[in-house]
Structure formats: C-alpha cells, structure tokens
Structure 1
Amino acid sequence: MAENVVVVGAQWGDEGKGKIVDLLTEKVEVIVRFQGGNNAGHTLVVKGHKVVLHLIPSGILHPDKLCLIGNGVVLDPEVFCRELDGLNSLGVQVGPSSLKISRKTHLIMPYHKLLDSAREEKKKGPDKIGTTGRGIGPAYEDKVARTGIRAADVLKPQLMLAKMEKAVEEKNVLFQHYFDQPPVKVKDMWEAIQPWTERLKPYLADISAEIASVHHAGKPVLFEGAQGTHLDIDHGTYPYVTSSNTLAGNASAGSGCGPSALHKVVAVVKAYTTRVGAGPFPTELDDETGRHLQTQGAEFGATTGRARRCGWLDLVVLRESCRLNAPQEIALTKLDVLSGLPQIRVCTGYESTEGRLAFPPQMENGLSQVDPVYETLPGWEEDISEIRSFAALPAAAQEYIRCIEQELGVKVGIISVGPDREQTLVR
C-alpha cells in the first residue's frame, strides 16, 4: 500500500517545510494543505528562482500533481487569486484539474482583517501577540461561533450576503463603540470581494472524496502543515500561538479523512531556533552569534518581512514536539547556517523553581520562567553547501546530528545544506 506522509514544523514555524514538501512531492500523487491561512509563507528555491506560496500547496510546482486545500484552512479569496496569477506569470499553469478547494473551507472576509488589525493596535506592550493582521484569528472565531462564510456559500449569493450582514452587525458594535472606528458597510465589502469569489467557483470540490478516491487507488498522499508545533492553539506557547491546530493529528480532521490514512510523520527541524513576533524564547541570542544566524540564514519572514528572533537549538521544545507528533523521521534544515561558528550549543534541559525540566512547563508563559541548560559541541569552518552525503560532512556536523538523534530518539533522515532543491542529503 502507498505510504501517506504528514509534514509538520517542530518549532515555531519557518523551519523550511516548503522545501521538504517540495522534495517529497516527487514520490506522491496528491498534496493536501490541512490548516492555517496566508499568515504563513513557504519559500522554495528551484534552479535559483525563489517562489513564495502562502495558500496553494508547495507541490503545485510539480507537473501532474493534484493539490488540495482542506476544510481546516481559512482562505482569503483575494490572496488566493493573486497567488494563482503569480504562478501563471512564472509559467506554472494552474487550473481546477490540478488545484481544488474544499467546499467546507472558511473564507477570510475583509472585515476579519480590519478586526484583526484593530485589536492588535489597541493592545499595549506585553499584551501584543504579534499577529500578522491577515484576519486569520477572526475568521477562525467566526467558524467556531458558527457565523463563518464557507467556500460553498459563494455558489449561493443570497445566502452569503445574509450571512455577511449577520456577522457584520455584531462586529460593528465593536468597531464603533470599542475601537472608535467607523462601521463596516456590507455593500462595499460585497462589491469588493465579488471578482475574487467568482474566480473561486471552478476550484470548489469535495476534498474528502478526492482523498478517499486517491487512497483507494493505492496512490500516496502528502499532508502539508503550516506554522509549527509550538504555535498550536492547544499545545503551543499560549497565548502567543496561531488560531489552528498545527499538529500532525489534525491532518485527518483538517482534510476530511480517517486517522488510519496517516501512515508516517516527518517533523521539520531547523538546525537552530527562530521565532517571529512576541512570546517567550529561552535560547534566544541577542548577540553576535544571533546576528550571524539571522544574516546567514536570511531570517526574515516570507509573509511579513519581519526579522526573526534567533537562538540555539532547543531540544526541550523538540522533545515536546516529538511527543505530540510522534514523527518517524526528522528533516533537518539550514545546517549550513551553522558553518563558521567555533562552538555550537544545544539546550538539553531547563532549570526552574521546580528543578530540572526535560519538557516545557505547561502553565501560561512558563517558558519565560526557565533558564536553559546547555551542552557545548565543536563547530566547523567548512562550507557544506555542496556536500551531498552524510559521510562527507565534517566530523563536527555529524556529531551535531547524532546528538539530536540521541536526545530525541528519532532518526534525521533528510538534511538540507542550502535553499535550493538540489542542496539536500537523503540518508
């Protein structure tokens, strides 16, 4: 039977999932995005050309593959259409035969983005979450409140308009009396989104049925997650999290298939740690080494352009990721960024008022109340970007990888030594 694979980020996002998905896509027939919105960007470099995708699965760059957007995603129709246009301008022809959207996928409406920005502006200091302002949170709120607009609603304009009016009625109370902003006019927003929602119609499909059909035909499926484990709404560093479940287990609910269809989990781990926005970060480096990681790793958000905070690899965070996702394999990315550092440190535990911890504390902002315990490993000077086998890596780089495997009990099967598709070692 074909092996279905789930790819998830094991840190706070930005681990390089896009490249790993792109690599694994060659072995599958179907790629499914199962959660999140356009608050995440997957950057791929193919033959020196950089492509950033926010909603459309990374597998779209491969011919003869079927890409699906699941019900667990919140989709901005305008962003989706602009992404289509961008791909077509690069010569990547995308149509309803190669890309489908679940009719159950919730849509991000213009008022969601306005509400997102208004909330973040009103927050002060430590209360700021660092949201991208893309409307993702408010769209998920409406989904849970059962006032959301689903993709299938674009096929019934009167229903969609009625649902918008109901949603906006409540939000205008907030806009006027809490945020001191003018009320939203449904008519204006309806007219603004019509060109985008009209273009969605040919792409709508029963994604659950599509996955079942492929599965029964014995063809492999790849499930593509967005963000990272520690941004999960339930298990992440709450409240500094995203608005969806980012764990491998959600690939089932977020795409419409049974959990028995998930055969293998690949956890993507960056060779150091980064974080965007606010939130506790025990191994953060605000020094020359941190700037080295940021510069050499080009650590700037694909969606927002914001500089990412950088720090040493945190194995405590990764132990929790392995416990939550149960990966069979790790894909280690950006190992080349560590080249040139005389010593490399890894966090193997936390000191806290409760003693030594091997897993993150579970109280709110618990990570801000711990001190990292480090193990120091030798660094390497060699440029490893052209190396294509594990045996050819410097001894110190091999030792670093073995340390990760020993601490986490999971094999590092894929190693990325550069952004291009070809700069990858498969063990």
Structure 2
Amino acid sequence: MSISSSASISSSPRTWNGALSRQLCGSHTHPQLSFSANNKQQKTIICSAAAKSGSVVIEQGAADLGSGPSRIGSLSQVSGVLGCQWGDEGKGKLVDILAKQFDIVARCQGGANAGHTIYNSEGKKFALHLVPSGILNEDTLCVIGNGVVVHVPGFFKEVDGLESNGVACDGRILISDRAHLLFDFHQIVDGLREAELAKSFIGTTRRGIGPCYSSKVIRNGIRVSDLRHMDTFAQKLDLLLSDAASRFQGFNYTPDMLKEEVERYKRYAERLEPFIVDTVHFVNDAISQKKKILVEGGQATMLDVDFGTYPFVTSSSPSAGGICTGLGIAPRVLGDLIGVVKAYTTRVGSGPFPTEILGKGGDLLRFAGQEFGTTTGRPRRCGWLDIAALKYCCQINGFSSLNLTKLDVLSDLSEIQLGVSYKQSDGTPVPSFPADLRLLEQLEVEYEVMPGWQTDISSIREYSELPKAARNYVERIEELVGVPIHYIGIGPGRDALIYK
C-alpha cells in the first residue's frame, strides 16, 4: 500500500469528540481535531491517498472453492472457532452455520459468561450462555467439556427456554463428569471481590467464573461427578462455603444455607444425571469413528489468562491450547482453526484498549453495531480494528482462516482506520502485543486510513459484488495479517454471510 503522507496528531482517536466519519486525509494538511485534555497518549495517523488497487498478496488457494457448502465441507475432522479480540466477535453465528456439517459441537472452557447470539431459519433470536451454539441444528450433538464451569440452575433455565421455543434438548446435550460446578455463592463472591478491588476492579460479568476456577485450582472445587455421591456432597460444599466466609466479611454463611443448598442439589442431581458423560472418552471415541467435531470457543484470545491483558482477562484459556486441556484431546488431532474478528474492535470491562474511540465516535459505532453484552447488557467499548493485536492472536492460535464479522456496521463511514502497528513515545517500534500494561497505556498506534464505501451491503451475498472500497478493506487486512478471510459477516441472520 503506497503511503502518500503521514502526520503526527497531538492525541489519540480514543478521545475523539467529533463525528466518527470526519475526513482526516482530504489533503496533505491535516485538520486539528478536538480531544479531551486528560489523554496521555500520542498516536500516529498514516493516511493513504487512495485505496489499494486490489492486488492480493495472500495466496488464496482453497479460497476459490466457490459455494459455502463446499468450503464448510472441506474443513478438518476436528475444527475450531475461536475469538481473535476481547470476545463478542460473533463466534456463535459461525458455529451455528458450520454445525450442519459437523456431528458434534463442543464447548471447552468458560461458563455462562460466554454469551452467543444466534438466529434460527425463521429469524428468531436465541441467546446462549452454556449450551453450545450447534443446538439449533437438530442433527448436532452438543458437548460441554471438562474445561467448562457449569452453573446447574442456569443450565436448566437455558434448556427450558430452548425447549419452550421448540428446540429439542433431550439426548442432545452431554456434560463432562469432570466439569466443575459453579454455585450461586461463587457469584456472590465475584461481586464482593470486585467491590474489594474498588478502582482497580476487573470488570467481570459477576457470573462467578473467576471464583469457581479459583476453587478448581486450589483443589477444593466440586465436580459434576460429585453429584453422584450425595453422601459426601454436603461435606465438600461445607468446605467451600466456609472458605468463602473466612475470606469475605460480607459473605454470611449459616448451617441453614448449607442444608438448603444440599437439598436443592439433590433434586438437580437427579435431573442432571441423563446429561452426565465421560466426555473425554466420548469425544476421543467419536474421533476414532471419524465423526466430525467442531469446537466452540468462549471469550477470546485477548482475554486468555496467559496471553490477554492480564489481570483484565477471563479465568480460562480461550486460545487454541484450551481446546486440548478443555476436552481431553491430543494436539495432533486438531485441524482447521477459524479466528473470528470484527471489522472493528470492542471490549467490555476494564483494561487497556489501544485503538479505543471515546466520545461520540465510539457511541456511533456502539449503536450502529448494537454493541451491548449478550450476557450482561453492558455497553461495549468500541474502537478501530487493531491489526497488531490480531497478528498476535493469529500467531498464538495458528488460524487457517478468518471470519470477518459486522463489515456492514462500517457502511456509513466516509473513511475507516486500521491500527497497523505500535511504537513507544520515542519512536521505538513495539514488535508484538506487550505484556506490560503500563507500556500498553503509553504506546502510540500507527493508523492507516482507508476510504469507506458509504452504501448498504447487507443484502450482498457474493464477494465480487461488494463495493471496491469494501473489498480493498478486506484484502488489506489479509495482507497485513497474512491469514485469508474466508467468511464475511454482513448482518446478524444465518444467511447474512459471504463466502470468499
């Protein structure tokens, strides 16, 4: 991509108070923008005088398969769909679409903090949290693996809601006997922990995920298989509750609480029994029988407890490694991994967000993309697509292809920015996504600015029919990241997908 000019702008687009589509690169002289005074970062805008000519550096190879069914049918026996940002990329929709070509859809980590919104063939909306997104495909079996933490009351609420809307669940959902149980008190502790952190709070969903994984790691957790032994269940639960009471003054634990919870879980145990399976054996047996398995990730790589913006992360491993540990399958059986990435970037909760747009610009993206959490309803923070973070995620996961979602949300913009690289304030390049949060808060983002297409693309179904500016944007992302984009989302419905 030829660069016609570059200019250092006094502050970051994160605090831009003007219109999102304001022209930054109309000429070689760049207008001064209005920024909030408290911004401490400087970021560089690299302006392109013209869109790319359309030449694609990436060898497309299998991208020329043509129809969607051909592309989906060519996926590996064990494939996965993982998030490339801070979650909410639209993984559920792709899993729902791909599920028709797979025998099993499996969740491997996270819990009810994973909110996946999908639509059935009639356009009816379903919000899923624990149940895998393959449930709307009647021939698909859904597995909740050992790496997932299971809130049983929430699970049954979700199942009851699906069945009341005509989605059969009996015999179609299996829960690992090794999965850990998430109790209501974990949710209480989650809130107490956040309050304790005060201004340094993580911004969790308060669904008890972190406290439940903490119980697992310090080895006093309770697993699904323990529901088969109610004679020792009360003793184990007493240990958990007593530990929480000793740690948090605001947690009031009484003998009546234990008695009520034990009685409740006796009833749950009976109902849950038909769902409980040794999923490690089941999944590996399915692999040996040549069944096709699709793994659905919750959250995303930038929230990975190891690779994300720690401590502002989730408590599991939503990256590729979490598939093996969360399902008990060998790395050698993993095939195609598809990374899902929005055409821009969002995140919820606290933590660094280098390409964030504050003020009216962020509001415009938020409402255009309906960026409000499926699980919590919280407004998501919005910003430009962060190529540096995306390359980092691709490096960790080894994606074979990408699904670029919500391209249609950018349709009204006269120009679109891509955050292509990072550098320190003295100009020193930052080669990868840094672990140091202080550096993340202080670094500068270099942007490329590309022209928008300013036309509705939601009814387009063939890549060649997209406006040239939209194709240039897609192909520039491919070129910068080095991974082909095989799927392009241009709306929420099942059919609102372009196969490239």
User: How far 1:267 sits from its partner (Å)?
Assistant: 0.3
**Aligned with 1:341 (options 413, 418, 421):** 413
- Given that 1:36 and 1:72 are in contact with CA atoms closer than 8 Å, whether structure 2 keeps it comes out as yes
**Aligned with 2:378 (options 300, 306, 313):** 306
Give the Cα separation in 2 of the matches to 1:358 and 1:376: 21
Give the Cα separation in 2 of the matches to 1:204 and 1:363: 42
Q: What amino acid is the match of 1:90?
A: N
**Aligned with 1:106 (options 162, 170, 180):** 180
User: How far 1:294 sits from its partner (Å)?
Assistant: 0.5
Q: What amino acid is the match of 2:132?
A: P
**Aligned with 2:433 (options 357, 360, 363):** 360
- Given that 1:348 and 1:358 are in contact with CA atoms closer than 8 Å, whether structure 2 keeps it comes out as no
Q: Aligned pair 1:42/2:116, yes or no? A: yes
- Given that 2:105 and 2:294 are in contact with CA atoms closer than 8 Å, whether structure 1 keeps it comes out as yes
Give the Cα separation in 1 of the matches to 2:384 and 2:167: 38
- Give unpaired runs (5+ residues) of structure 2: 1-74
- Given that 2:84 and 2:302 are in contact with CA atoms closer than 8 Å, whether structure 1 keeps it comes out as yes
**Aligned with 1:78 (options 153, 169, 190):** 153
Q: What's the counterpart of residue 3 of structure 1?
A: 77
User: How far 1:219 sits from its partner (Å)?
Assistant: 1.9
User: Residues 164 and 296 (structure 1 numbering): CA distance in 2 closer, same or farther, change over 3 Å?
Assistant: same
Q: What's the counterpart of residue 124 of structure 1?
A: 198
SS in 2 for 1:320: helix
**Aligned with 2:445 (options 372, 388, 407):** 372
Larger of the two Rg values belongs to structure: 2
How big is each residue's C-alpha offset from its partner over 1:56-92, in whole Å with a ceiling of 9 and x where there is no partner? 1000110111110000000000010000000001100
Q: Aligned pair 1:385/2:458, yes or no? A: yes
How big is each residue's C-alpha offset from its partner over 1:361-414, in whole Å with a ceiling of 9 and x where there is no partner? 122443212121100000011100000011000001000001110011000000
User: Residues 367 and 99 (structure 1 numbering): CA distance in 2 closer, same or farther, change over 3 Å?
Assistant: same
Q: What amino acid is the match of 2:308?
A: G
How big is each residue's C-alpha offset from its partner over 1:27-51, in whole Å with a ceiling of 9 and x where there is no partner? 1111110000001100012232110
Q: What's the counterpart of residue 50 of structure 2?
A: none
Q: What's the counterpart of residue 26 of structure 1?
A: 100
Q: What amino acid is the match of 1:182?
A: N
Q: What's the counterpart of residue 67 of structure 1?
A: 142
- Bigger drift between 253-262 and 330-339 goes to 253-262
Give the Cα separation in 2 of the matches to 1:122 and 1:362: 25
Q: What amino acid is the match of 2:284?
A: A
How big is each residue's C-alpha offset from its partner over 1:252-296, in whole Å with a ceiling of 9 and x where there is no partner? 110111111111110000100001011111111113332221111
**Aligned with 2:126 (options 51, 54, 58):** 51
User: Residues 101 and 181 (structure 1 numbering): CA distance in 2 closer, same or farther, change over 3 Å?
Assistant: closer
SS in 2 for 1:383: coil
Give the Cα separation in 1 of the matches to 2:452 and 2:320: 33
SS in 1 for 2:147: coil
- Bigger drift between 312-321 and 290-299 goes to 290-299
- Bigger drift between 299-308 and 356-365 goes to 356-365
Q: What's the counterpart of residue 140 of structure 1?
A: 213
Alignment of 1:10-409 (within 5 A): 10-46=84-120, 47-95=122-170, 97-125=171-199, 127-175=200-248, 179-184=249-254, 185-353=257-425, 355-409=428-482
- Given that 2:148 and 2:179 are in contact with CA atoms closer than 8 Å, whether structure 1 keeps it comes out as yes
Q: How much identity, in percent, do the aligned residues show?
A: 43
- Given that 2:146 and 2:180 are in contact with CA atoms closer than 8 Å, whether structure 1 keeps it comes out as yes
Give the Cα separation in 2 of the matches to 1:186 and 1:361: 45
Q: What amino acid is the match of 1:6?
A: G
Query: TM (normalized to structure 2)?
Result: 0.82
Give the Cα separation in 1 of the matches to 2:202 and 2:270: 34
SS in 1 for 2:341: strand
User: Residues 325 and 2 (structure 1 numbering): CA distance in 2 closer, same or farther, change over 3 Å?
Assistant: closer
Alpha-carbon RMSD = 1.4
Give the Cα separation in 1 of the matches to 2:442 and 2:92: 33
Q: How many residues align?
A: 422
Q: What amino acid is the match of 1:195?
A: R
- Give unpaired runs (5+ residues) of structure 1: none
SS in 2 for 1:162: helix
User: How far 1:13 sits from its partner (Å)?
Assistant: 0.2
How big is each residue's C-alpha offset from its partner over 1:78-129, in whole Å with a ceiling of 9 and x where there is no partner? 010000000001100101x21100000000012211111111122211x110
- Given that 1:34 and 1:70 are in contact with CA atoms closer than 8 Å, whether structure 2 keeps it comes out as yes
Give the Cα separation in 1 of the matches to 2:296 and 2:167: 20
Query: TM (normalized to structure 1)?
Result: 0.96
- Given that 2:189 and 2:251 are in contact with CA atoms closer than 8 Å, whether structure 1 keeps it comes out as no
Give the Cα separation in 2 of the matches to 1:370 and 1:12: 19
How big is each residue's C-alpha offset from its partner over 1:328-378, in whole Å with a ceiling of 9 and x where there is no partner? 000010000000100000000112147122421122443212121100000
- Given that 2:76 and 2:335 are in contact with CA atoms closer than 8 Å, whether structure 1 keeps it comes out as no
User: Residues 101 and 365 (structure 1 numbering): CA distance in 2 closer, same or farther, change over 3 Å?
Assistant: farther
